[in-house]
Amino acid sequence: MKDITFKKITIEDKESIEFYLNNYSTFCLSAFSFPGLVAWETVYHYQWAVLQNTLLIKLVTHDDNKEHFLQPIGEFPSDLQKKIIQYAQSLDYRLAIYGASNTFISKHAEFVSHFEQTEHRDMDDYIYLTEDLALLKGKKYQAKRNLLHQFETSYDWSSEAITPANIPACFEVLTSIYHQNNLDKNSFLAHELNVLTFVLKHFPQFKEKGVLIRIDGRPVAFSIFAHLNASTCVVHFEKAMREYKGLYQLINRETAKIILADGYKYINREEDLGLEGLRKAKLSYHPLELCPAHVLLFIK
């Protein structure tokens, strides 16, 4: 693999990378969306190359600060598989392949046999029926409906699509949320803030969508979401000021309504990172399934 030239993922690579994501990927994992890849490049140092009609993406993990791969996307012929195995054998550490789908594992059984297969519950993505989150029907969503009713009767609120004109309002929300936090520059929250800043500054280029919520004209919450595959939309970010009870439920519902109108059957709301509060919140919306994030670790 050392003879292959990998390059840093940039916004200019959108068309080339999305060709493979759109034509070969039915992944439910949110990592396999171009906005996610280019936005988090500063954290994971994503690099890409195409070989034998297969998209290869390298990343550097925080666990060992070594280069690994995301699951190859494309035709992935047997001689390329052998090339990766030979490369893994040459390394002085165990090469990992992140985000391997069940389909990939079953289709390339011989290749996968050279790896130890593991799962990371903290990185599993939450998949919901869009209709469930948009309409909140039935007894299981009664508590959500109660919170929304309380919010809607307490505040004069409005919802609007994110456009270049109201991007500054989204930055107002970020300033309100993060201004009291003295963030460690290496913390996840600091990384997330940098990524969000990048996404908002380049919002028109990503061709993503978003929802902005105001209360009495004041921007208080927003979400950003994007196409993942033909049936699924992924919500990359959802930020709200916690001083307004029910606001998170509102931005969730308003986002789901737009995604439903756009014709997506499923919503991916990404992982919980093992955070107890986030896991509880995501489970409270009754996911249809968790999309497993398989990691393949080379057997030395």
Domains in the chain (CATH in brackets) are 7-124 (3.40.630.30), 126-270 (3.40.630.30)
Dist. CA 36–CA 34, nearest whole Å: 5
pLDDT computed for residue 292 by the predictor: 86
pLDDT computed for residue 182 by the predictor: 62
pLDDT computed for residue 116 by the predictor: 97
User: Do β-strands 266-268 and 125-129 pair in parallel, antiparallel, or remain unpaired?
Assistant: antiparallel
Determine contact, residues 69/97, Cβ cutoff 8 Å: yes
Both tokens of 222, joined, read 């927003």
* Tens-digit pLDDT string for the chain (300 aa): 777 899 999 999 999 999 998 888 666 788 888 888 998 998 899 999 999 999 999 999 877 889 999 999 999 999 999 999 999 999 999 999 998 988 899 999 999 999 999 888 888 999 999 999 999 999 999 999 999 999 999 999 999 999 999 999 999 999 888 865 566 676 777 888 888 999 999 998 888 899 999 999 999 999 999 988 889 999 999 999 999 999 999 999 999 999 999 999 999 999 998 889 999 999 999 999 998 888 999 998
Return the sign of the alpha-carbon dihedral for residues 293, 87, 22, 109.
negative
Dist. CA 20–CA 156, nearest whole Å: 45
Determine contact, residues 61/96, Cβ cutoff 8 Å: yes
Residue bearing tokens 């690099």 = 47
pLDDT computed for residue 149 by the predictor: 97
